[in-house]
Amino acid sequence: MSRSAFSFFPLALLLVALPVAAQMPRIELTAGFYRIEAEVAANDPNRMQGLMHRRSMPTNQGMLFVFAQPERHCMWMRNTLLPLSVAFLDEEGRILNIENMQPQTEDNHCAAKAARFALEMNLGWFASKGIKPGSRIGGLEKSPAPQ
């Protein structure tokens, strides 16, 4: 191999190792008067990756998980470094329940009823905005179909 091929190899490895999250689409959601920029995890690889290995997330950003079927979905925090709050949402975007999740734990945090979506935000975000079960998250109709 030539010397230039060797210098290209580390760059190729770096490009292959880029996080899956870089490929996730983003949409704008609303919670009352608050705007949320959400990455959308609508397929199995993105749902499995979630917010793992991230060290920070801006204040009004989050991740929306889109599920194929409304079920009592559960979340956990394996390899997730950020403390998060998750709101489980029904098909109309109404919050069913909100769970607080601690980093790097494997405790299950489940929807109280059949949920079609889950929205993860920084820990305490919903409480700090007065957003509670029964509140509605707008903009879900713009989310990609689940795969």
127 three-class SS: helix
**Token reading at 140:** 């879900």
The model's pLDDT over 9-26, given as tens digits with 9 standing for 90+, comes to 444 443 444 444 457 999
Give 144's pLDDT tier (boundaries 50, 70, 90): very high
Instruction: Give the domain extent around 81.
Output: 3-142
Question: Which residues have a Cβ under 8 Å from the Cβ of 68 and sit 6 or more positions away?
Answer: 146, 147
Report pTM: 0.84
18 three-class SS: coil
Give dist(CA 98, CA 112) in Å, integer.
9
Q: What's the number of domains the chain is made of? A: 1
Q: Supply the pLDDT for residue 17.
A: 42
Tell me, yes or no, whether 147 lies in a domain: no
Q: Supply the pLDDT for residue 53.
A: 87
- 22-115-129 Cα angle (round to 5): 70
CATH number at residue 16: 2.60.120.1140
Percent of the residues in the chain that have a pLDDT greater than 70, as a whole number: 85
